[in-house]
Amino acid sequence: MTVIDANRMHEIETRYPEYLHRSFRQRFGGLMILIATLLYSLYAVWFFDLPKLFAEAHWERVGIYLSQWVSYDVQPEFRIGDDGSIDIHYPRFSPLGDNPHADWLVNNPDGSITVSISGTSRTVTVSKSETTVTAHGISVPVEVSSGAPKVVGPVPGWMTVYDDNVLADLGFAGDVSISVDRVKIRKRFIGWANFIFDTQSSFFDKPVGEVVSLIVSGPRIKPDQSNLALAFDDIWNNSEWQHGDVWTKLFQTIVMAFLGTLLGSLTAFPLAFLAARNITPNWLLNQILKRFFDFLRSVDMLIWALFLTRAFGPGPLAGSGAIFLTETGTLGKLYSEGLENIDNKPREGIKSTGAQTVLVHRYGIMPQIVPVIVSQTLYQWESNVRGATIIGAVGAGGIGLKLWEAMRTNANWENVAYMVILILIVVFIFDAASNALRHRLMGTKTH
């Protein structure tokens, strides 16, 4: 056992004070951070009233919206005449077209009509005096011959009785609304209806093989236009999905991001040399330009877009201008900070040879700053593809405006899903292209 005397102990304390004489912050810093985080979390819960927010939230709408992203519905209406006849009507813009032949709708010998909502487990049979809904293993008759619909027997939990109609909720498969003189059915299908050809197209509702045969070797449907051109025209001008308009707006978004980033980088590059203290030793000019960059960055891109749409009107010009102003401030700050952190030895060495200022910058500064410029510019370009979508919603053009219009109707969620997927694909492509280009220009390998 080694005994340490007082002198040795004092020597150790002098040599390692950070271990033997720790400050209050060093001893309790971690605990204080943990307590502060806990207190802030409790404050956030109280400030935002999270218990009430979660209790009153309409969580059921999440499932409804998600189901509408990946499905569509058909809404036939059965009108019961005074003579007992049953007429079938579809909405004006039904996904089935003007002459539907639904195989899930069967005319029975007794004059009633049976609709398969989901196979044989969920069906609705409509007759002149009674509508029978079969679901969850039971059949519930609803009499419609009197002044108001009346459920025969006990009312199940999935059926709601109102004064003038009875509503049967059949889950994702659809629902049924029963009144005295009509029965409205909503039947849901998985997929996107008429994504290629709309109901007005000559190719609508034709099998894939027949469509390919018509395009390749079939007789012309329109004498003045080939079937291939007609098919492309029908797809591009699809009235339900508006592929032509969506893709045009998507291209506008890409152009807005590219043009705004390009102009911002070209403007920020020379200004950064004037803002860098070690390149331009003029304190007043440095401060003016840095505050100018701060001003451009402090106003969000969305706010710039609002200003410019008031000045130039809605359109991609306002969007490109908003990105240009924001990127001038952001890239100007990044470039100038990169210049201020370079190693001055190569620059001083070239300057000592009597080289001109342009050559000093070219060979003493640019090799050091190019990786920073390339990396930051490509990252901002990639980020602005997403930003251009957001500012489009306020009138700056591009697919953002189209997306906002589809969301505002609260009925075209499948179109919203289509545009969101396109935006994600474009962002993924630009991310991969940006990474590949950055690694190529900087001489590094991708993994």
> Any idea how long the chain is?
447
Q: Residue 394: is its pLDDT beyond 60?
A: yes
Q: How far apart are CA 178 and CA 164, in angstroms?
A: 9
Q: How far apart are CA 270 and CA 125, in angstroms?
A: 76
- How confident is the model over 186-203, as a mean pLDDT? 90
Out of 99-108, 155-164, 320-329, 363-372, pick the least confident: 363-372
Q: How far apart are CA 228 and CA 211, in angstroms?
A: 10
Residue that has been written with the tokens 């001109």 in this structure: 356
* CA distance readout (Å), 185 to 76, 117, 136: 6, 9, 17
* CA distance readout (Å), 392 to 250, 322, 432: 10, 11, 24
Q: How far apart are CA 436 and CA 446, in angstroms?
A: 7
At 77-91, the pLDDT tens digits run 999 887 778 889 988
pLDDT of residue 99: 77
* CA distance readout (Å), 360 to 78, 270, 278: 84, 15, 13
Average pLDDT of the chain, as a whole number: 86
Q: How far apart are CA 376 and CA 381, in angstroms?
A: 9
Predicted confidence band at 219 (pLDDT cuts at 50, 70, 90)? confident
Give me the amino acid identity at 327.
E
Q: Judge whether 439 and 446 are in contact, CB under 8 Å.
A: yes
Q: What percent of the chain has pLDDT over 90?
A: 30
Beta strand 166-169 pairing with 138-143:
unpaired
> Which residues are CB-neighbours of 103 under 8 A, at least 6 positions away?
none
Phi then psi for 167, rounded to 5 degrees?
-110, 125
Q: Residue 7: is its pLDDT beyond 80?
A: no
pTM, two decimal places:
0.79
Q: How far apart are CA 330 and CA 137, in angstroms?
A: 64
Kind and range of the H or E run holding 220: none
Q: Judge whether 360 and 350 are in contact, CB under 8 Å.
A: yes
Burial 322-336 (b: 16+ CB within 10 A, else e): bbbbbbbbbbbbbbb
> Which residues are CB-neighbours of 400 under 8 A, at least 6 positions away?
253, 388, 389, 390, 391, 392, 393
Residue that has been written with the tokens 């009674």 in this structure: 130
- How confident is the model over 279-283, as a mean pLDDT? 86
pLDDT of residue 403: 87
Q: Residue 446: is its pLDDT beyond 60?
A: no
pLDDT of residue 358: 80
Phi then psi for 38, rounded to 5 degrees?
-65, -45
Query: 3-class SS at 402?
Result: helix
Q: Judge whether 192 and 238 are in contact, CB under 8 Å.
A: no
HEC profile for 223-276? CCECHHHHHHHHHHCCCCCCHHHHHHHHHHHHHHHHHHHHHHHHHHHHHHHHHC
At 31-67, the pLDDT tens digits run 889 999 999 999 999 998 888 888 888 887 777 788 8
Q: How far apart are CA 296 and CA 294, in angstroms?
A: 6
Q: Residue 323: is its pLDDT beyond 90?
A: yes
> Which residues are CB-neighbours of 193 under 8 A, at least 6 positions away?
72, 95, 240, 414
Query: 3-class SS at 354?
Result: coil
Neighbours of 232 (CB within 10 A): 12
What distance lies between CA 436 and its chain's CA centroid? Answer: 24
Kind and range of the H or E run holding 169: strand 166-169
Give me the amino acid identity at 86.
I
pLDDT of residue 9: 66
Q: Residue 178: is its pLDDT beyond 80?
A: yes
- How confident is the model over 98-119, as a mean pLDDT? 86
Of 420, 269, 368, 389, which is closest to residue 319 (Cα–Cα)? Answer: 389
User: Angle, nearest 10°, between helix axes 243-275 and 227-236?
Assistant: 60
Predicted confidence band at 20 (pLDDT cuts at 50, 70, 90)? low
Q: Judge whether 176 and 183 are in contact, CB under 8 Å.
A: yes
pLDDT of residue 184: 94
Q: How far apart are CA 206 and CA 209, in angstroms?
A: 8
Sign (positive or negative) of CA dihedral 359, 361, 366, 367? positive
Q: How far apart are CA 351 and CA 364, in angstroms?
A: 8
Predicted confidence band at 363 (pLDDT cuts at 50, 70, 90)? confident
Predicted confidence band at 93 (pLDDT cuts at 50, 70, 90)? confident
Residue 166 CA neighbour count, 13 Å, CB half:
26
